[in-house]
Amino acid sequence: MEKVKADIDYKNSVISIRGLRKAFDDFQVLRGIDLDLYQGENLVVLGRSGSGKSVLIKIISGLLTPDKGDVTVLGKKVNKISDKELQELRIRIGFSFQASALYDSMTVRKNLEFPLVRNRRHITRKEINTAVETVLDAVSLSQTINQMPSELSGGQRKRIGIARTLILNPEIMLYDEPTAGLDPITCIEINDLINEVQQRYNTSSIIITHDLTCAKSTGDRIAMLLDGQFQRVGTFEEVFNTEDERVKPFFEYNFIQ
């Protein structure tokens, strides 16, 4: 499916990162990052393995704390708010994990219900069923409702993982390597789903990947993370129209080989 031009509000940034630094022991992963994600935008963060892409979205969602810098999400400074405020903020952020992180001991239905019943305590059974059916329909996996995660394929697990985040109607989606380990056809389906989520749920998203096909087909803007900093930020063409020896191999490997 061709990427439809998104309706992006460039005056309204939903995530704003300034001077973000993070180190593990002596290794500086992020070295002063500045970034804005605008309302309605799909921003792809590209970079090599171990370059700190996943660390970045874990800091945004409050799973990791930065050493320095500010991360403002939907007007709240993630590293300076109380646990209760962080919990409330997280409901507005969807996080799709690289390995899907489905709860092994629960069926697909229970996986989807889990965040819903715990965040909306007074929700009725009928409303729960409707919400579950709606998100399963959105990811085209209604038939898997009573299956266990171990019975699903890699692509189906990714979709259910995305459905589980959509059930809370998030304003921001964070995708960690959405196409990693999937065959090319399933990758295309996942890319289409990411675009569909952007259109249907009006979300703003950060997509972490090193798959350029995914970057090209889902990203409104690309940010290239190299040596702990964003070296190039722009459209796909702007980022890869360069002679930079650190950037060129990405393009050549993905599209020439």
Partner 1 sequence: MDTVTNSPAPAGKGRRTLKRRLADFFVSLYRVNQFILRFFKEAFLPPFELKETVRQCFEVGVRSFTLISLTGFIVGVIFTKQSRPSLSSFGATSWLPSLVSIAILRALAPLVTALIAAGKVGSSIGAELGSMRVTEQIDAMEVSGTKPFKYLVCTRVLATTLTIPILATYTAFIALLGGYLNVATNEGTSYITFMEQVFEPISFLDFTAAIIKSVVFGFTIGIVGCYQGYYSTKGTEGVGKAANGAVVTAMFLVFVEEILIVQIVGWFR
Count CB-CB contacts under 10 A for residue 226.
16
Judged by CB under 8 A, the stretch of 96-104, 132-140, 180-188, 230-238 that binds partner 1 is: 96-104
Is 4 a binder of partner 1 (CB under 8 A)? no
Is 226 a binder of partner 1 (CB under 8 A)? no
Q: How many residues does the chain have?
A: 257
- Among 12, 3, 38, 10, residue whose Cα is nearest residue 204: 38
Is 119 a binder of partner 1 (CB under 8 A)? yes
Nearest-angstrom CA–CA distance, 59 and 79: 8
99, 151, 183, 255: which one contacts partner 1 (CB under 8 A)?
99
7, 34, 88, 252: which one contacts partner 1 (CB under 8 A)?
88
Is 115 a binder of partner 1 (CB under 8 A)? yes
**Which residue type sits at 125?**
R
Residues 157-216 that bind partner 1 (CB under 8 A): 161, 164-165, 168
Q: How far is the CB of 76 from partner 1 (least distance, A)?
A: 14
Judged by CB under 8 A, the stretch of 23-31, 45-53, 88-96, 224-232 that binds partner 1 is: 88-96
230: CB partners within 8 A, 6+ apart: 33, 34, 35, 223, 224
- Among 257, 199, 202, 250, residue whose Cα is nearest residue 225: 250
Is 79 a binder of partner 1 (CB under 8 A)? no
Q: How far is the CB of 247 from partner 1 (least distance, A)?
A: 30
Q: How far is the CB of 177 from partner 1 (least distance, A)?
A: 12
Strands 68-73 and 76-77: antiparallel
Which runs of E-coded beta strand occur in the chain?
Answer: 9-24, 27-39, 42-47, 68-73, 76-77, 93-96, 172-176, 204-209, 221-226, 229-234
- Please, which residue, 14 or 93, has the CB nearer to partner 1? 93
Q: Which residues bind partner 1 (CB under 8 A)?
A: 58, 61-63, 87-88, 90-91, 93, 95, 97-99, 101-104, 114-115, 118-119, 121, 161, 164-165, 168
